[in-house]
Amino acid sequence: MIRYIFKRFLMMILTIWIIATLTFVLMNAIPGSPFNEERTSNEAVQENLERHFNLDEPPIVQYFAYLKSIVTFDFGPSIKKPNDTVNDLLARGFPISAELGIISIVVALFSGIALGVIAALRHNGFIDYLAMTIAVLGISIPNFVLATLLIQQLAVNTGIFPVATWQSPMHMILPTLALATGPMAIIARLTRSSMLEVLTQDYIKMARAKGLSPTKVVIKHALKNALMPVVTILGTLLAGILTGTFVIEKIFAIPGMGRYFVESINQRDYPVIMGTTVFYSAFLVFALFLVDIAYGILDPRIKLHKEERG
Amino acid sequence: MIPINKILEIRNLHVTFSTYGGEVKAVRGVDLDLHEGETLAIVGESGCGKSVTANSIMRLIPTPAGKISNGTIRFKGMDLAKATDKQMRNIRGVDISMIFQDPMTALNPTLTIGTQLTEGVRQHQNLSKKEAEQRAVEMMNLVGIPNPHERLKQYPHQFSGGMRQRIVIAIALIGEPDLLIADEPTTALDVTIQAQILELFETIQKETNVAIILITHDLGVVAKVADRINVMYAGKIIEAGTREEIFYQPKHPYTKGLLQSIPRLDQKGEKLLPIDGTPPDLFSPPVGCPFTARCPHAMVVCEKVYPLRHQPTDSHYADCWLYDERAHTTNLNPKKEEMT
């Protein structure tokens, strides 16, 4: 197990390095510079600024300086927000983004699984059709459409919820709903179909033949097996929720990391682009690693490491 | 051997399944008796209703498609056909246990053997984890699994097919049932393992005096362990008798056909005789004897009227017109009214 984690860790570092390098290449490939808009600055000022941020160096030198900043986790000051370092921005934005993302994935997981299980147990009944209708709607409506609809109906027209920002639990409901509905629908459909398959298995009949209660049969025997496909797509869903937070944060004016990420690209704020990209990718890569570990816990047949023969 | 206490009595059991194509009459009036410590084999080809009969006793027919439409299943004075789900849960695993055909799929791959062995008794008898594990170890010793303590912590994929079937048997026996239903317990196993498992059944019966219903299509298996044999065809028991009676004095042409179609070591070089044709369609089962279409001795009456019971001894009967006294005197064509 330790060997596996070590190997995975090396792979994670490699992945992040590739992402970082690609970001650097792409960033240098797009035209424009952080100082393009500043009409007032004359050439001398611009040169001074470029020197200050090491932008006058050849790309290869910049690249190594940048790799060094990743390793030391010190991305330096933002070009556009001279009072803040990139680390300040991350420290300010990440807790909020993480809150939104984690609440959403938890809501999506629990409601999706519950919906899927109920639908499977009432197969071809009214509840099944209702749950699957909700699921199809959830999959078909993009989160930004859902977000605007929710704001229009539940905030502007009826005033039940606040329109935007991120302050109290009431503020969190609409963004979470907008972000979690899509993944929830996918999880519900997947849980239902794999649950239906598992329920026909011999070991379920065997569990019933032992005289176990229906709840025990479903929770202990069926659900654990039915959740394998859900765990498989959890990685993809996490990536989806992560990119979803950019959009949702923008719509609801939530001061999370997503805003800095999008702004920094528009303004060519190189240190912030680098910092946020590496941070996001490291987060996702680590989440995927946790998903793989979860496999091994759910299904003992999946060996994460080579076992000594015995 | 005269068994004393009757523990199971099935009368006129009918089971139907509603499908898109219509209603399948899978079991059509089965009568069955089972006594303490006895092994009863139900023999028949695929689709004859033997598994459905077994599942009816456990009330494990898939609902809502399947249902017991008529008949009684008396077990210890209780009619299982009408028992509530809760009553059934207290019977399953405690009074009646079941063994399934394929040990590769009958065990949950994500739970340890120990959990799967003990969860039944822990629920029904409120044993502590330790007591339950102690029982599990005893059971594993009984069914012949070495190193039971270590094995408890392992998962099904770490066991071979034969070992898994032993585990399945141990799970069935841990609640000390009075009746064990084994649905094709050896079909999915290698021949050498089959023999071991059958011997295991004999040992278990000697030690626990459990009554066994053995469902199989393999007459070789039956010959080894069964005390009595019921031959099933198209949802009915068409012949029943002791092992000796069925093997040495079969009455029904179907039973004779079955016996001719198994290979025997003492008749070298003889060709096996298959039974021509296929069983009837159970959407609209024939009114008369269901075997008529395949029977070499079929008479006109066979097609029209279900045969009266021919009972050569107390323990032996066959539903066949051939043994009716009129079969040879009349023109093999009795009027319908006379027969009903």
- pLDDT, tens digit, 9 for 90 and up, residues B292-303: 989 888 888 888
CB–CB contact B105 A201 (8 Å): yes
- Reported as a single tens digit per residue, the pLDDT across B127-165 is 889 999 999 999 999 898 999 999 999 999 999 988 999
Cβ distance B157 to A301 less than 8 Å, yes or no, reads yes
Per the structure block, which two tokens stand in for A273?
A: 């682009």
Q: Which of A22-36, A231-245, B38-52, B278-292 comes out lowest in average pLDDT?
A: A22-36
Q: What is the pLDDT of residue B284?
A: 87
Give the gap in angstroms from C-alpha B325 to the nearest C-alpha of chain A: 47
Element (H, E) at B310: strand B309-313
The pLDDT confidence band at residue A61, using thresholds 50, 70 and 90, is confident
Q: State residue A308's pLDDT score.
A: 42
Neighboring chain B residues of A205 at a CB cutoff of 8 Å = 60, 100, 106
Predicted pLDDT at A36: 63
pLDDT of residue A63: 86
Cβ–Cβ gap A300/B110 under 8 Å: yes
What's the pLDDT band for B334 if we cut at 50, 70, 90?
Answer: very low
Instruction: Pull the structure tokens for residue A40.
Output: 């007032």
Residue whose structure tokens are 């570092």: A13
Please give the average per-residue pLDDT across B234-243, as a whole number: 94
Which of A204, A205, A206 to mutate: most B Cβ within 10 Å? A206
Query: Is there a contact between B177 and B97 (Cβ–Cβ < 8 Å)?
Result: yes
First to last CA, chain B: 36
Q: Is B83 on the interface with A (CB under 8 A)?
A: no
- Cβ pair B220, B208 in contact under 8 A: no
pLDDT band for position A304 (50/70/90)? low
Alpha carbon of residue A296 to chain centroid: 22
Q: What percent of chain B stands above pLDDT 90?
A: 51
Inspect the interface and report whether the beta carbons of B109 and A301 lie closer than 8 Å: yes
Positive or negative: CA dihedral B328, B330, B333, B336: negative
Q: How far is CA B168 from CA A305, B151, B293, in A?
A: 29, 14, 40
Q: Which residues of A touch B (CB under 8 A)?
A: 201-203, 205-213, 216, 220-221, 224-225, 298-301
Supply the mean pLDDT for chain B: 88
> Least CB-CB distance to B123: which of A212, A224, A299?
A212
Q: Tokens representing B12?
A: 């006129």
Rg of chain A over Cα atoms, rounded to whole angstroms, equals: 24
Instruction: Give me the pLDDT at residue B35, please.
Output: 92
- Residue in chain B nearest A225 by alpha carbon: B110
Residue in chain A lying closest to B55 (CA): A209
A224, closest residue in chain B (CA to CA): B110
pLDDT tens digits for range A62-83: 888 888 888 887 777 787 777 7
pLDDT tens per residue, range A135-162 = 999 999 999 999 999 999 888 888 888 8
B311-B243-B208 Cα angle (round to 5): 120
Q: What is the pLDDT of residues B61-111, one digit of tens each?
A: 887 788 899 999 999 889 999 999 899 999 999 999 999 888 889 999 999
Region of residue B47 (left: phi > 0; alpha: psi -120 to 50; beta: else): left
Which of A80-84, B231-235, B258-262 is predicted most confidently? B231-235
Q: Does B119 touch chain A (CB under 8 A)?
A: yes
Closest residue on chain B to A223 (Cα): B110
User: Are residues B119 and A216, on separate chains, in Cβ contact within 8 Å?
Assistant: yes
Q: Report the pLDDT value the prediction gives residue B253, as an integer from 0 to 100.
A: 93
Q: Are the Cβ atoms of A207 and B92 closer than 8 angstroms?
A: no
Residues in a beta bridge with A94 = none
What integer is the mean pLDDT of A221-250?
A: 88
pLDDT for residue B73: 94
> Does B120 touch chain A if contact means CB atoms closer than 8 Å?
yes
* A201 → chain B, closest CA residue: B105
Q: Which residues of B touch A209 (CB under 8 A)?
A: 58, 60, 92-93, 97-98, 100, 172
More confident residue, B4 or B88: B88
The pLDDT assigned to A292 comes to 83
For B24-48, write each residue's pLDDT tens digit: 999 999 999 999 989 999 998 888 8
Question: Which pLDDT value is given to residue A294?
Answer: 82
Q: Say if CB B201 and CB B226 are below 8 A apart.
A: no
Check residue A309 and give its pLDDT: 42
**Chain A contact for B159 (CB, 8 A cutoff):** no
Q: What does the pLDDT read at residue A39? A: 58
Is the pLDDT assigned to residue B14 strictly greater than 70? yes
**Shortest CA distance from A213: residue in chain B:** B89
Q: Is the pLDDT of residue A307 over 50?
A: no
Q: How would residue A310 be classed by pLDDT, with cut points 50, 70 and 90?
A: very low
Residues of B in Cβ contact (< 8 Å) with A212: 89, 93, 119-120, 123
Residue B72: count of CB within 10 angstroms of its CB: 15
Residues of A with CB below 8 A from B51's CB? none
Mean pLDDT of chain A: 85
Is some CB atom of chain A closer than 8 A to the CB atom of B155?
yes
Q: Predicted confidence band at B338 (pLDDT cuts at 50, 70, 90)? A: very low
Q: pLDDT band for position A232 (50/70/90)?
A: confident
Judge whether B102 is closer than 8 Å to chain A, CB to CB.
yes
- Interchain contact, A206 vs B58, CB within 8 Å: no
Confidence of residue A188 (pLDDT cuts 50, 70, 90): very high
What pLDDT band is residue A184 in, cutting at 50, 70 and 90?
very high
pLDDT at res. B116: 94
Residue A299 C-alpha, separation from nearest chain B C-alpha, in angstroms: 5
CA B75 and chain centroid, separation: 16
- Which amino acid, residue B135? R
Quick one: average pLDDT of B279-306?
A: 89
Over residues B224-247, the mean pLDDT reads 93
Chain A residues with CB under 8 Å of B97 CB are 209-210
B111 touches chain A (CB under 8 A): yes
Residue of B nearest to A123 (CA): B64
Rounded CA gap, A209 and A203, in Å? 9
pLDDT band at A305; cut points 50, 70, 90: low
* Distance from C-alpha of A285 to C-alpha of A298, rounded to nearest angstrom: 20
Closest-CA distance, A117 to chain B, in angstroms, reads 18
B164 Cβ under 8 Å from any chain A Cβ? no
pLDDT 10s digits, A119-135: 999 888 899 999 999 99
Q: How many CA atoms lie within 13 A of B125 on its CB side?
A: 20
What is the arithmetic mean of pLDDT over A219-241?
89
A273 C-beta neighbours (distance < 10 Å), count:
22
What is the percent of chain B with per-residue pLDDT over 70, rounded to a whole number?
94
B-chain residues within 8 Å CB-CB of A300? 109-110, 112, 155, 157
Task: Find the closest chain B residue to A227 by CA distance.
Answer: B110
- The one-letter amino acid code at A117 reads V
Virtual torsion, Cα A283, A289, A294, A297, nearest 10 deg: -140
Compare all CA atoms of chain A with the CA of B97 and give the residue at the minimum distance: A209
Q: Does B86 contact A at CB distance below 8 Å?
A: no
B279 touches chain A (CB under 8 A): no
pLDDT of residue A145: 93
Confidence of residue B22 (pLDDT cuts 50, 70, 90): confident
Cis check: omega of the bond before B64, within 30 degrees of 0: yes
